[in-house]
Amino acid sequence: MDGAFASEELELALRHVSMPLEALRYDVTPVGLHYTLCHFDIPALDESAFRLRVVDRTLSMAQLQGLEKRTVRATLECAGNGRAKFQPRYPSMPWTQGGVSTADWTGVPLKRVLGAVSPRTAEVVFTGADRGFDSGVEHAFARSLPLEEAMRDDVLLAWEMNGQPLAPQHGAPLRLVVPGWFGMASVKWLSRIELLDRPFDGYQQATGYQYKKRAGEDGTPVRQMKVKSLIAPPGIADWYSGRRLVDAGPVTVTGRAWSAAPIKRVEFAVDGEWRDADLEEADRYAWRRWRCEWKAEPGEHELACRATDVEGTQPNQPDWNIGGMGNNALHRLRVTVR
């Protein structure tokens, strides 16, 4: 990583939870280790008084919880994960690798709550109870989905995470979960659902979360997660530098790979020599564990991993864009073997 970080970037890093990479060991990330990104203050919502507004109706939590319930295991990744590795770097949350985690989300499929919609409906808009400013614009966090995405069976209005009631920072009492999409689509503290016959032009849809090469150009919207993988760092670490020390001998190196599309292959490299890793099965939208045996020999080594899905393989270098979105360059990790 290059460049010193501004105090505003530090405060954002402190406000949000980045998953430590040893937590790649868990199929389902424990709640307090799951990454968080809260655009504004975490709202204080009273579940018993809470009402979800859906077009012209309102629903209490008890009414929602009386509907068909299902659980979906889904990996979510922040669209800005890896932002700190871009040069130049956009002034925002400076994620390195930890803006990704996996949870079991339980709730009612959105389509059961929406029911029949007008044939003129193009998008469904989701508004949270969190409110603040971004670039001088005051707004409540809000995002839209195209109708066909909103109607997928696995898009949930969720009130449980890992079998427990949602924690405040994860959107209690109710949030949207959109498996396969970057995390910004999974609106937390969900308070209102509306139907639109035109594209939604809210700040977080039309201005934020765009891939742009130049200021002022029309961006490409950030949507589904890209193919990506990470290494669970072997050995032990130094407190300040984070440098890793590994004992010589056989080491089982593991990690995770994920994408909006099915993962086809994961490769692992020591000092640039690539070979296939073994891949475990997982639910459709959950990360897959990979593993590779490595005979560690004393000295300095660079480990790396890269995943492939139907769209292609992770690039060697990040595809730069102004906002620092969607960095899916392969993961490299320097270790010392003793």
On whether the CB atoms of residues 305 and 269 are closer than 8 A, the answer is: yes
Six-digit token pair at 205?
């849809």
Which of 133/274 has CB closer to a copy of itself? 133
Which of 42/185 has CB closer to a copy of itself? 42
| CB 87, min distance to a copy of itself, A | 12
Which of 101/259 has CB closer to a copy of itself? 101
State which of residues 67, 245, 248, 310 lies at the interface with a copy of itself (CB under 8 A).
245
Verify binding: residue 28, a copy of itself, rule CB under 8 A. no
C-alpha–C-alpha distance, residues 99 and 206, integer Å: 23
Cα dist. 95→2, 90, 143, 280 in Å?
A: 13, 11, 22, 27
| CB 169, min distance to a copy of itself, A | 6
On whether the CB atoms of residues 109 and 117 are closer than 8 A, the answer is: no
Q: What are phi and psi of 226, to 5 degrees?
A: -95, 170
Question: Which residues are paired to 176 by β-bridges?
Answer: 157
Verify binding: residue 15, a copy of itself, rule CB under 8 A. yes
217 Cβ neighbours under 8 A, 6+ residues apart = none
On whether the CB atoms of residues 7 and 87 are closer than 8 A, the answer is: no
State which of residues 27, 28, 40, 55 lies at the interface with a copy of itself (CB under 8 A).
40
State which of residues 73, 86, 89, 98 lies at the interface with a copy of itself (CB under 8 A).
98
Verify binding: residue 134, a copy of itself, rule CB under 8 A. yes
C-alpha–C-alpha distance, residues 123 and 168, integer Å: 27
Which of 25/275 has CB closer to a copy of itself? 25
Cα 193 from chain centre: 22
Verify binding: residue 210, a copy of itself, rule CB under 8 A. no
State which of residues 11, 247, 278, 280 lies at the interface with a copy of itself (CB under 8 A).
11
Site string for a copy of itself, 61-80 (x = CB under 8 A): --------------------
3-state DSSP assignment of residue 40 = coil
Nearest Cα to 276, choosing from 268, 288, 287?
268
3-state DSSP assignment of residue 284 = coil
State which of residues 2, 56, 148, 273 lies at the interface with a copy of itself (CB under 8 A).
2
State which of residues 52, 59, 78, 84 lies at the interface with a copy of itself (CB under 8 A).
84
Which of 196/237 has CB closer to a copy of itself? 237
State which of residues 117, 151, 196, 237 lies at the interface with a copy of itself (CB under 8 A).
237
**Peptide bond between residue 173 and the one before it cis (omega within 30 degrees of 0):** yes
Verify binding: residue 41, a copy of itself, rule CB under 8 A. yes
Verify binding: residue 163, a copy of itself, rule CB under 8 A. no
Neighbours of 261 (CB within 10 A): 15
Verify binding: residue 230, a copy of itself, rule CB under 8 A. no
Verify binding: residue 103, a copy of itself, rule CB under 8 A. no
Element (H, E) at 9: helix 7-15
Instruction: Output DSSP code: residue 314.
Output: -
List interacting residues with a copy of itself (CB under 8 A): 1-15, 17-18, 20, 22-23, 25, 30-34, 36, 38-42, 44, 84, 91-92, 94-96, 98, 131-134, 138, 164, 167-170, 233, 236-242, 245
